[in-house]
Structure 1
Amino acid sequence: MNERLTLRAGQGGEPVGGNFWREVGGRPTFEKLVRAFYVGVADDPVLRPMYPDDDLEGAIQRLIGFLEQYWGGPATYSEERGHPRLRIRHAPFKVNPDARDRWLLHMRTAVTGLDLPPLYEGQLWDYLERAAHAMVNTFDE
Structure 2
Amino acid sequence: MSATPTITPYQLVGGEQGIQSLVDRFYFFMDTLPEARGIRAIHQKNLNGARDKLFKFLSGWLGGPDLFVEQYGHPRLRMRHFSFEIGSSERDQWMFCMNKALNELPLDPEFRENLSQALQELATHMINKDE
Which residue, out of 99, 103, 109, partners 1:118?
Answer: 109
**TM-score normalised per structure 1:** 0.83
Question: How high is the sequence identity, in percent, across the aligned residues?
Answer: 31
Are 1:19 and 2:11 matched, yes or no? no
Counterpart position of 2:22: 33
Are 2:81 and 1:81 aligned?
no
Q: Which deviations, in whole Å up to 9, do the C-alpha atoms of 1:33-92 show, x marking residues without a partner?
A: 1111111211332111221124x1111011011011011111111010100000001100
> Do 1:97 and 1:139's aligned partners in 2 also have CA atoms closer than 8 Å?
no
Could you tell me how far apart the structure 1 residues matched to 2:100 and 2:12 are? 21
Runs of 4+ in 1 over 4 A off after TM superposition: none
Distance 1:77 1:91 in 2: 18
Contact 2:19 2:59 in 1 (8 A): yes
**Does residue 1:139 correspond to 2:99, yes or no?**
no
Q: Does 1:47 align with 2:36?
A: no
Aligned to 1:95: 86
Change (3 A) 1:108 1:23: closer
State how many pairs are aligned. Answer: 128
The alignment partner of 2:37 has SS state of coil
**What TM-score, normalized to structure 2?**
0.89
Query: RMSD in angstroms over aligned alpha carbons?
Result: 1.6
Q: Distance in 1 between matches of 2:37 and 2:14?
A: 32
Q: Which runs of 5+ in 2 are unaligned?
A: none
- Matched to 2:118, the amino acid is Y
Task: Pick the structure with greater CA Rg.
Answer: 1
SS of aligned partner of 1:62: helix
| DSSP-derived class of the 2:38 partner | coil
Question: Take 1:110 and 1:20, find their aligned partners in 2: how far apart are those partners?
Answer: 16
In the alignment, the residues of structure 1 paired with residue 13 and residue 125 of structure 2 have an alpha-carbon distance, to the nearest angstrom, of 25
